[in-house]
Amino acid sequence: MKDASIDWLLEGDAWVVYRTRLDLLGQSESDAEVQAARKSMLSDPKVKNLVAELEDWPGTVLNSHKSASQSFHKLEFMADLGLTVNDPIGKRIATKVMKHQSAQGPFQLPMNIPVAFGGRGKDEWAWALCDAPVLVYALIRMGLGDHPKVQRAIQSMEGLVHENGWPCVVSPELGKFRGPGRKEDPCPYATLVMLKLLASVAELRKSPAAKQGVESLLSLWQKSDSQHPYMFFMGTDFRKLKAPFFWYDILHVLDVLSQFKSARTDPRFSQMLKVVRNKSNSDGSYTPESIWLAWKDWDFTQKKLPSRGLTFYVQKILKRIH
């Protein structure tokens, strides 16, 4: 990445400055510039509002995993920004999350699945493989990877993998509910967030489960014209640049796959990356093509100007492959 582009990122929101110093420049957490950027980030009104919402965990009852306003997506975002259990408020939030661990291992969220969709039509604590891995990933990022409860959750979900990736799996409380698709198909989103979870644990990046997950996503890209399990497509909408990474889209998939050495050298990964690189502006910046309306105050939620936040995400992917 050009120095001029780095300078441009360092003129952005405090969180972009903080993460650029850490993830692109490789500066240490103990560096005075990094510490100043982190302090500035935590005092940013947008960040403070997010953290205040999370302290009211778990927030509203989950009704759509895709909704960018869901608490578990916001927790993941804050964990990626750098909120940890060393922050008093981070510790309080993590403690609340870990209070609800299922008998099966994954942590639970309040949900309400209508009877018509196989649920019981009432508010209850439950989990699904399209939310539980995100919670565990966030807890790992917050510094709780070695906690026995987190370890138990990881092992239980890793063990659910099939030869073609992770299927749609839900807790007993949700009855017969599952996504729209054949039972034997992999769920692309569940596979994506499970891979993200495994990528955050060094000793699991080369596990058989990770290998199956990587091949599943690369195969889905290769066969994107004909295979759309659980109604997840890799067409026009999938290829639009969008941030943060809350759902199944090209940057989210590339961000996760780029953390696996075997994927980075695969021609299918290169094809996917080329789609993104072709969207670059002449100065190396990137402009959002799709936005999360629930995040309207952030710089990656407008489609008219280059976004420092989005550009940072792309550059972090590119840095991994060089």
Residue 62 has a pLDDT of: 63
CATH number of 58-211: 1.50.10.20
Per-residue pLDDT tens over the stretch 275-299: 999 999 999 999 999 999 989 899 9
User: Which of 23-37, 108-122, 207-221, 249-263 is the least confident region?
Assistant: 108-122
Weakest-pLDDT range from 65-79, 80-94, 177-191: 177-191
Whole-number percent of the chain with pLDDT over 70:
94
Strand (E) or helix (H) holding 124: strand 124-126
Mean of all residue pLDDT scores within the chain: 92
- CB–CB of 55/228 below 8 Å? no
For helices 308-321 and 250-257, give the axis angle rounded to 10 degrees. Answer: 40
Measured in whole angstroms, the distance separating CA 257 from the mean position of its chain's CA atoms is 12
**36: exposed, middle or buried (Cβ count in 10 Å: 0-12, 13-18, 19+):** middle
What is the pLDDT at residue 225? 86
Q: What is the pLDDT of residues 115-124, one digit of tens each?
A: 666 667 778 8
Q: In this structure, are residues 310 and 288 in contact, taking their beta carbons and an 8 Å threshold? A: yes
Residue 60 Cα distances to 111, 123, 138, 157, 298, angstroms: 9, 10, 19, 25, 22
Cβ partners under 8 Å of residue 2, min gap 6: 284
Domain ranges of the chain: 58-211
Nearest Cα residue to 218 out of 241, 242, 188: 188
Give the residue among 26, 29, 28 at the shortest CA–CA distance from 6: 26
Residue reference for tokens 């999360």: 292
Q: Average pLDDT, stretch 182-189? A: 87
What would the mean pLDDT of 70-83 be, rounded to a whole number? 96
Q: Are 198 and 210 in contact (CB under 8 A)?
A: yes
Q: Give pLDDT, residue 238.
A: 96
User: What is the band of 153 on the pLDDT scale with cuts at 50, 70, 90?
Assistant: very high
Among 86, 102, 106, smallest CA distance to 94 is for: 86
Instruction: Specify the pLDDT at position 58.
Output: 92
Q: How confident is the model at residue 182 (pLDDT cuts 50, 70, 90)?
A: confident
**pLDDT winner (highest mean) among 66-70, 100-104, 114-118:** 100-104
* Residue 132's pLDDT band (cuts 50, 70, 90): very high
- Dihedral, 76, 78, 79, 82 alpha carbons, nearest 10: 160
Collapse the DSSP code of 8 into the 3-class scheme (helix H, G, I; strand E, B; otherwise coil) and give the result: helix
Q: Which residues of 186-209 are buried (b: 16+ CB within 10 A; e: fewer)?
A: bbbbbbbbbbbbbbbbeebbeeeb
